Structure 1
Amino acid sequence: MARRRSSGVLGILAEAQRQQQRQQEAQRRAAVAAQRQYERAQRDAQRAAAQGEKEALRAYQQGREADAARRTAELDDRVAELQGILATGLRGRPFSLADLQEPVRLAPFDPGPLGTPVPMPDPAWYRIPPLTGAQALNPMARRQYDEQAAHAQARFEYDWRAAQAADQQRLQRLGEYRAQYDSWAAEQQRLAGEYTGQAARLAAGGVTEFFETALFWRTDWPEEFPKDGTLAWDEGARQLVVDWQLPDFEVVPPLSRIRYVKTDDRDVDVARPATKSRELYREVLAQCALRVLAELFRADAEQRLDSVALNGYAAAVNPATGREEQRYLVSVMVERADFLAVDLERVEAVSCLVDGLGGRLSARPDKSEAVRTERLADEVGAHREDASEDEPDLFEMDPIAFEELIAELFRARGLRTRTTARSGDEGVDVLAEDPDPVTGGQIVIQAKRYRHTVPPTAVRDLDATMVRQGAKLGILVTTSGFGPGSRRWVEGKPLTLIDGPTLVGLLKEHGLRGRLGGPAVPSPQAPAVSLSPGENAVIPAADLTEVSVRFSSTGAEADLTLLLLTADGVVRSDEDFVFYHQPSAANGSVTLHPKESTAGRSSERATLRVPALPAAVDRIAVSVNMDSDSGASCADLREAGLEVRGAAGSAWAFSPPADPAISAMLVAELYRHREVWKLRAVGQGWADGLAGLARAHGVDVA
């Protein structure tokens, strides 16, 4: 049955009720839509803010990663520079006298990365998108927006201040680098002026001076590498002996790379493995040695060098004594032909030096492990120091007399010797026999009175003669020297080589006479006046220009120490304290020389140029101190003596007392007295050693 619409009052009420329900439903839907729109707007605002922070964070992290990559690249560049030392040297042309006349051409100042300003943070990276529409009317959305904007502004200000500080540091480093460059450029200009004046002197024929200049004029060594050494020329052997200072282990970068860690927002320094650092340092040393050899032979256009003996040393602390000394890390002796046969542009440096040229390279140079040296620069020509006119010149001696002298030398060393006949000697000049029943046997000795290097064939002939004679040892004695080929030949064989300087030293040791070439006659010295403790003497003015102070002793070893004192008896500063770690003071007016040792007696000498002393210096305290770790006292010194000798020949001597209660002693002092200088013998000291001596004279002892 069909339904019918209600009418009347009930119908009107029903319609009104339906309209009210529709309105309520519309309001509910509108509220739900508004809530959803608010939530959507809130999410949009959060998404925008997060996106802004992510972009800022991403930019910041990228900057940190770029900085870590830049610092890593600097480490890689440093390693490449160290590995290219030899190649850099080979790119330069060989030195010639014409180079001293050329104008200086300095590379322009290059600031490198320091010339690039640190980028400032962009405010756009930190900007939070503004609220729009209903978001702007919602208090909760507005509050969150304000918090995010404040956080972003604070982060921007922090990063901006950090970037500003980094740029200020960059500018400071740039200024320091520029000052270093200007100082370096001024020094190069000064050296250029010296070179110009030196060219004429070198042209006159100074062999050592020429090759010193060839080594020192190059400016393309790494900046912090030392450029120092000692050269000596052996005319007879036509050999240049070079003691060259090498860089220490600190030139190797301790880090291999820098890594940025995002999660911790920090840089991590990745250390270079110890084995890699050692390998790189050995390569650096080998390349330095090869480069020095290359620059010498390439500069030798006149072919004056038959061979070069190179000893490379670094300053290091001796672990046994705790004192800094020269530790030889490289030693090689090479002939011209052998070296020039090497293609240096294609070699591996360590293999070339050790295997190709027969050199020695420290296995652990990072620990200053030294190698054996063949010949040092200060050993060349040392035999001439004490020669006198009445000694026979070995070069001019009759050959038979020379053989007799060699026989007498080995007779003095405890052997039974006889010279052979001039004919049929089969390469033997002296036959010797060691009478010891256990270690004794026959020895063949060959004497070569040469002025030039003994050829390797003579060494090989002696080897064959020794085998033919059934001898246990062969000795080759010469007035000249031996080349690298000869020295390599005798390694591991029962052969001994005695060169000219060694021969002269052996003759003197056994009371025999002989010199090599013209003598250097020493001037006669006046006998020293002996002083007693407390006694003083006036030093004549003529003696003050250069006063030599020498302390010597046997037994325990002592160190010579000098202090420059004012009238109050104290130093002006620690720079007035002259000892083995600070061997000079007052612009060289007081200089301490290296220690010497002969026949068990050690001595140490200082030179005083009294007129050059500062006016404030009134006295010089001459002291000795024992090694603090040895536990020795001054009573352990045997035959101790101080000798003071002036420039005009006046001399004084003092034997200090052997006091077991002290380990540092004021032996004597030079002091002003009105218009003259005097010397006083003292002989008093301190139980606490060098520290007590220093404190008593105003030195700051930590």
Structure 2
Amino acid sequence: MSRRTTGPFGVWAEMQRQRQRQLEAEARQHRQEAREARAYERRAAQSYREYKQADAIRRTEELDARVAMLKDLLASGCRASVFRPSALMRAEELPSLAAVIEGVGRREPEAVVEYFSAALYTSTAWPEGFPRWVAMTYDPVARQLVLDWELPAGDVVPQSKYVRYMYAADQYRETPRPVGQRRALYKEVIAQCVLLVLHELFAADESGALESVALNGFVDGHDPTTGRPDRIFLATVMAERSSFRELHLAQVDAESCLADALRGQVSARPDQLVAIRPGRRPEEVGHRVTTHGDVEEPDLYEMDPIAFEGLVAELFEAMGMRAVTTQRSNDGGVDVHALDPTPIRGGQIVVQVKRYRSTVPPTAVRDLYGTVQDAGANKGVLVTTSGFGPGSHTFANGKPLELVSGAELVDLLHRHGLRGRLGDGGRPDSTPPPAPNPSVPDDYNILGMSWSGSVALDVCALVCRGNRILTDDHFVFYNNPRTPDGSVRTLSATAPDKAALCASFDTLPDDADRLVLVAAVDPEVNPDADLSGFTDARIRLLDPALTELGQLQVSDGRPHETALVLGSFRRRSTGDWDFVVGGKGYTGGLEELLRDFGVEVD
């Protein structure tokens, strides 16, 4: 069971972080004002060409400074002030702090976690923009602190090595940093982060509460087998106090120290999110797990509309663009105006923000396209807290439009140092299947799909009346992971299945009499493939405990076909559901199949 830290250390830690955020914001403002002043002076004193050349040099220097900071992360972090209770601000206003510190001395798990969460959360050792999220618990018998710590994503390493100004073309040219160099530096950064966390924990342990620390480092990513948001663990270590105190961290090679001296592990390809098996996890200890660092996450569903538009504008600013929100009246259908200064692919961008809980209708995407044309913009972006149906994606294909779903928005916010969540679940497509109901053992079924061959397929479902879909929202696929009522959902597959859906037949809409299952070739993964390699296909019918209830055979694929109706569950007059094998194939892919069922595809 997880809970947020609300004790006196948590209150003090939040005060410290609020103050730190204010100082960081003021520092950013001062740096911005200084940059603008220097830019004005350069423009006034130098020719256009000299200014551009100087700006290219400045941008290269910023890249070099960023790389130098990353390489020196551990050494500079060790020079930062160590967490001490005596350094607490306004301690006289928090008299219960003494009780927490006494609890640490008595090895009380809640007090220990409260104390060390504050030590990590208020640390000044981390560069601006680095994530700071932890899930932690304490094993008093082993005197071991067990935690999961969020690591920076791969884009923390600059993609470019240096910038040059090309006078003849009047544009900047960025020379990419070699892939091998980016990979090596990112791996080094991960190792430094792990060592720095260990340093801060052991340094803050004045009472000797820690004999060891079990630490797992992760990033938010997507499971490569399912495409669903998931934590990807990239580092793990179990460090004994006696071994760690012998290290001279400012002089070590971080990777060698972690792997050889501490017997830890770092992913061989962290830039490609190649996961490792984590060590001991907080939920395995048996005590309550406390999370810290997410208390400032606003619920995007509940935000004030103007504040939400401001957050989207701030995201575009963090991505290197200039962005402003529009006035509420006469905005011409535009919520945010953005300007991408990147040569060739940059330009004016109009942004519409839709804070929806249900799927955005295709009409909204068409309206955005009209706005782009009327404004003469280079691109239109539609940002939502929900998702888009197949009609929207098909209409946007090939047009200067970009659709950002709720899950992608949350990932982008976190990737650029901002915060936001979608209700209690965090992401709209991370909803688990309904919990088993002991009194109703057949509350829902899992439909596991397997086949022979290496062709990559999208397995989807349509809730229909006859051969017509109820609404576009009743087409369940990777970009619309559930029906509005949640009766049908996508689900991560478990071996031997390659795809899975969850269906609660008893709660399907009253006017629905068919649940149609279809499969289509993924054109991005296998652009030249057809369904001739789709053989030995079957559907496993499972109960909530993953007990197999039976298997349903479906038709094999045929050459030149790229989409196929696998079969349909049909409601009989008695209320029972029977499965009818499909077999109809389509050479025009999923788009042609959807039109056959009345899905709006333009």
- TM-score range (shorter-chain normalised) is 0.3 to 0.5
In the superposition, the TM-score normalised over structure 2's length comes to 0.46
In the superposition, the TM-score normalised over structure 1's length comes to 0.40
More helix, by proportion: 1
